C-alpha cells in the first residue's frame, strides 16, 4: 500500500526535493544564495525537508559565489551557491569565473523560467547555458526531470576530478515541480571532496626529472595553487630537504610551505616579489614549476626565469605545460602524487648535489627585510601600509586567515606578511582580480573555520563594492575584523598612471567615505585611525572583540608608496 503525505505520494518527490536530497547526499552542509521568483519551489523544499544544510542568505549573488569559493578553499569540499534567473544569473558570474580560473570547485545553481515558457518572452528569460559556457568547466540545464539526478552527479564529478573547477546548473521552474523517482537520487561519495580521482604521473618522466634535479646546482621550485589544492605539503617539504632546494610561490601558492621554513623564499613575480627574490629565479639553472601556469605575473611577463633555463613542469592540465616556456620534462599529473613519486625516485640517488637553498633563501629574505623594516617603523601620516602589515603580524595568531582584495592589500600581504605555518591562511582572487572579493570571502572563510580569526583586508574602492554584506555579517554575528586601507583613490590604476603614463592622473580619485560610520550603521563596532601610534591598540581591541569589527585606516596611497610591484619601480 502506498503511504501518502497530504496530497503528495510519499514515494515520489519533486525536482526541488530531489535537488535538496542530492546536495545532502554529496555531503553539502552549507550553501550561499539569494531568493527569487523562479526559486520558490527550491526554497520551499529547503524549508520543509530535514536535510542538515545551512543556507546563508546573501545580499548579492556575486558575493554568494565568492563565499562559496572561500568556503571550498578551506574545507576541501565543493562550495555551493545559488541564485534566481535573469539578473541573478548575470550577477553570480564574477564569482563563478574567479573560482573556475583558480581551480576551485563551486557549484552554481541558477533557477530558470519554465521550459514551456521559452520563446514566449517571459520575464527573466535568457540562455543560461550559453551565458555560463565560457566561464565554467562544465555547464548544463536540467530540462528533463528523470535525468536530473544523473546530471547533478555529473556536475559533482566534473568539478572535483582532473583539474577542479566551477560548474553551473540551470534549474527550470517546471523541473523543480516535476516528479522524480527517489531510487534515482544517490551520490558517489568520492565526489564530495576534491581533488577526486587524482591522476598519477608517468614514471619515465619522473625519472627524467629526478635526474635533472639531482645534478642541478642552483635549481628553484615555484609553486602555484596546484600543490595547495592537492595537499602536497609533506612531499614538497621532503623534496626541499633532499635537494636543499629553495621554494618560491605565486600569490595563489602561498601556504604550501611555511614562510619561516629555511627553504622558503616567499612570493616571486611582479605582484609581491622584490629584487632579491627575483634574483634567485634569474640565477637558477633549473626551474621546477609545480601547479603553476607560469603566467604574466609570476614570470614578470615571461622575463624571469630567463629564456633558455631548464624547465620541469608539473600540472594536472596538459594545456598549461609548455604554453609559455620550452619545457625539458613535462609531468601531467596531480601535484601531490607527482611530488611523492619524485621524492621516492630521488631517495634512490646517492650523493645529491644540493642547491644551497637555505643560504639563497636567507639572502632573499634579508634583501626584502632591508626595504620593509624601516617603512614598517615609520611614524609619518598617512599611515604606511608596511606598518599595518607588521602590526597585524605581531597581533594575529598563527591560525588566523586573511582574505585580501587585489588592490592595495594584496601585494603587501603577499610580500611582507610572513606566514608562520603551512596551509591555507591567505585567500585572494588572483585569477581576475575583481574588487569587492575580500568581505564575501571572509564570510565563507568564517563558515568554513568558525574557530579561526578571520580578517578581511580591502581598499576603500573595494569597500563600496561590497558593504551591503555587513548586514549578513551582523545578522549572523560573525566575529570578522575588516581593515580598510583608506586613501580615496583607485590606487592600483593611479600607480600605473604614475609609473607609465607621465603622471597623467585621470578619473581615479573619489571622495573620502567615513567607512567606520557606514559599518556602524550596520551594527559593526568600528574605529577610524589616522595616527600611527594609535594603530596597534585599536587593532588589538578590534581583533579581541566578540562580534564584527572594522578599522578604517587613513593610509598612504599606492602611487606614493614603495609597493612591491615591479612595474611601478624605476
Task: Look at residue 6 in the predicted model and tell me its pLDDT.
Answer: 34
> What is the rounded distance in angstroms from the CA atom of residue 197 to the CA atom of residue 160?
8
Task: Look at residue 570 in the predicted model and tell me its pLDDT.
Answer: 60
The pTM of the full predicted model, rounded to 2 decimals, is 0.96
Per-residue pLDDT of the chain in tens (570 residues, 90 and over written 9):
233 233 333 578 999 999 999 999 999 999 999 999 999 999 999 999 999 999 999 999 999 999 999 999 999 999 999 999 999 999 999 999 999 999 999 999 999 999 999 999 999 999 999 999 999 999 999 999 999 999 999 999 999 999 999 999 999 999 999 999 999 999 999 999 999 999 999 999 999 999 999 999 999 999 999 999 999 999 999 999 999 999 999 999 999 999 999 999 999 999 999 999 999 999 999 999 999 999 999 999 999 999 899 999 999 999 999 999 999 999 999 999 999 999 999 999 887 878 999 999 999 999 999 999 999 999 999 999 999 999 999 999 999 999 999 989 999 999 999 999 999 999 999 999 999 999 999 999 999 999 999 999 999 999 999 999 999 999 999 999 999 999 999 999 999 999 999 999 999 999 999 999 999 999 999 999 999 999 999 999 999 999 999 999 999 999 999 999 998 886
DSSP 382-408: SBPHHHHHHHHHHHS-TT-EEEE-TTT
Contact by Cβ (8 Å): 360, 280: yes
In sequence order, what are the residues at sequence separation of 6 or more whose Cβ sits closer than 8 angstroms to the Cβ of residue 16? 41, 42, 44, 45, 176, 177
Q: In terms of Cα–Cα distance, which of 185, 133, 137, 195 is closest to 162? A: 195
For residues 393, 395, 398, 403, the Cα torsion angle rounded to the nearest 10 degrees is -70
Q: What's the half-sphere exposure (Cβ side, CA atoms, 13 Å) at 358?
A: 9
Domains belonging to the chain, first-starting first, are 4-192 (3.40.50.970), 203-360 (3.40.50.1220), 377-568 (3.40.50.970)
Task: Look at residue 404 in the predicted model and tell me its pLDDT.
Answer: 98
Task: Look at residue 351 in the predicted model and tell me its pLDDT.
Answer: 79
Please, which residues bridge with residue 266 across strands? 248
Task: Look at residue 4 in the predicted model and tell me its pLDDT.
Answer: 29
Q: In terms of Cα–Cα distance, which of 443, 441, 464, 442 is closest to 519? A: 464
Task: Look at residue 352 in the predicted model and tell me its pLDDT.
Answer: 84
Task: Look at residue 5 in the predicted model and tell me its pLDDT.
Answer: 30
Maximum alpha-carbon separation in the chain: 83
Amino acid at each position: 500500500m502506498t503511504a501518502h503525505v497530504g496530497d503528495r505520494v510519499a514515494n515520489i518527490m519533486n525536482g526541488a526535493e530531489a535537488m535538496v536530497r542530492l546536495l545532502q547526499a554529496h555531503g553539502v552542509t552549507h550553501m550561499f544564495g539569494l531568493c527569487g521568483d523562479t526559486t520558490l519551489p527550491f526554497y520551499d523544499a529547503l524549508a520543509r525537508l530535514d536535510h542538515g544544510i545551512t543556507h546563508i542568505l546573501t545580499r548579492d549573488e556575486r558575493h554568494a559565489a565568492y563565499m562559496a569559493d572561500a568556503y571550498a578553499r578551506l574545507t576541501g569540499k565543493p562550495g555551493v551557491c545559488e541564485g534566481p534567473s535573469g539578473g541573478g544569473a548575470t550577477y553570480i558570474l564574477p564569482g563563478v569565473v574567479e573560482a573556475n580560473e583558480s581551480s576551485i570547485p563551486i557549484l552554481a545553481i541558477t533557477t530558470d523560467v519554465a521550459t514551456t515558457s521559452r520563446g514566449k518572452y517571459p520575464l527573466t528569460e535568457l540562455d543560461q547555458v550559453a551565458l555560463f559556457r565560457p566561464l565554467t568547466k562544465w555547464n548544463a540545464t536540467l530540462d528533463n526531470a528523470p535525468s536530473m539526478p544523473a546530471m547533478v552527479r555529473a556536475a559533482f564529478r566534473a568539478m572535483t576530478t582532473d583539474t577542479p573547477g566551477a560548474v553551473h546548473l540551470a534549474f527550470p521552474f517546471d523541473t523543480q515541480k516535476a516528479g522524480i523517482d527517489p531510487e534515482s537520487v544517490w551520490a558517489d561519495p568520492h565526489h564530495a571532496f576534491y581533488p577526486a580521482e587524482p591522476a598519477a604521473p608517468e614514471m619515465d618522466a619522473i625519472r627524467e626529472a629526478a635526474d635533472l634535479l639531482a645534478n642541478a646546482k642552483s635549481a628553484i621550485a615555484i609553486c602555484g595553487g596546484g600543490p595547495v589544492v592537492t595537499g602536497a605539503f609533506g612531499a614538497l617539504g621532503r623534496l626541499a630537504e633532499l635537494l636543499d632546494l629553495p621554494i618560491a610561490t605565486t600569490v595563489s601558492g602561498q601556504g604550501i610551505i611555511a614562510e619561516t621554513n629555511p627553504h622558503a623564499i616567499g612570493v616571486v613575480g611582479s605582484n609581491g616579489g622584490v629584487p632579491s627574490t627575483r634574483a634567485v629565479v634569474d640565477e637558477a639553472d633549473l626551474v621546477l614549476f609545480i601547479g603553476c601556469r607560469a603566467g604574466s605575473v609570476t614570470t614578470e611577463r615571461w622575463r624571469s626565469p630567463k629564456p633558455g633555463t631548464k624547465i620541469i613542469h608539473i600540472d594536472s592540465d596538459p594545456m598549461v605545460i609548455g604554453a609559455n616556456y620550452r619545457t625539458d620534462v613535462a609531468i601531467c599529473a596531480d601535484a601531490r602524487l607527482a611530488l611523492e613519486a619524485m621524492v621516492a625516485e630521488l631517495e634512490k640517488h646517492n650523493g645529491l648535489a644540493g642547491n644551497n637553498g637555505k643560504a639563497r633563501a636567507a639572502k632573499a629574505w634579508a634583501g626584502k627585510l632591508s626595504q620593509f623594516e624601516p617603512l614598517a617603523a615609520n611614524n609619518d601620516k598617512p599611515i604606511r601600509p608596511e606598518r599595518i602589515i607588521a602590526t597585524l603580524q605581531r597581533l594575529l595568531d598563527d591560525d588566523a586567515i586573511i582574505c585580501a582584495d587585489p588592490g592595495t592589500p594584496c601585494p603587501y600581504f603577499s610580500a611582507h606578511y610572513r606566514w608562520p605555518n603551512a596551509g591555507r591562511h591567505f585567500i585572494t582572487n588572483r585569477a581576475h582580480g575583481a574588487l569587492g572579493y575580500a568581505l564575501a570571502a571572509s564570510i565563507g572563510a568564517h563558515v568554513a573555520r568558525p574557530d579561526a580569526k578571520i580578517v578581511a583586508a580591502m581598499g576603500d574602492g573595494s569597500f563600496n563594492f561590497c558593504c551591503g554584506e555587513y548586514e549578513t555579517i551582523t545578522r549572523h554575528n560573525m566575529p570578522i575584523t575588516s581593515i580598510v586601507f583608506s586613501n580615496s583613490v583607485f590606487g592600483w590604476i593611479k600607480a600605473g598612471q604614475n609609473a607609465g603614463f607621465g603622471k597623467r592622473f585621470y578619473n581615479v580619485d573619489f571622495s573620502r567615505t567615513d567607512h567606520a560610520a557606514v559599518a556602524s550603521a550596520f551594527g559593526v563596532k568600528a574605529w577610524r585611525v589616522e595616527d600611527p601610534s594609535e594603530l596597534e591598540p585599536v587593532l588589538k581591541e578590534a581583533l579581541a572583540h566578540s562580534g564584527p569589527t572594522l578599522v578604517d585606516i587613513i593610509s598612504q596611497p599606492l602611487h606614493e608608496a614603495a609597493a612591491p610591484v615591479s612595474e611601478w619601480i624605476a
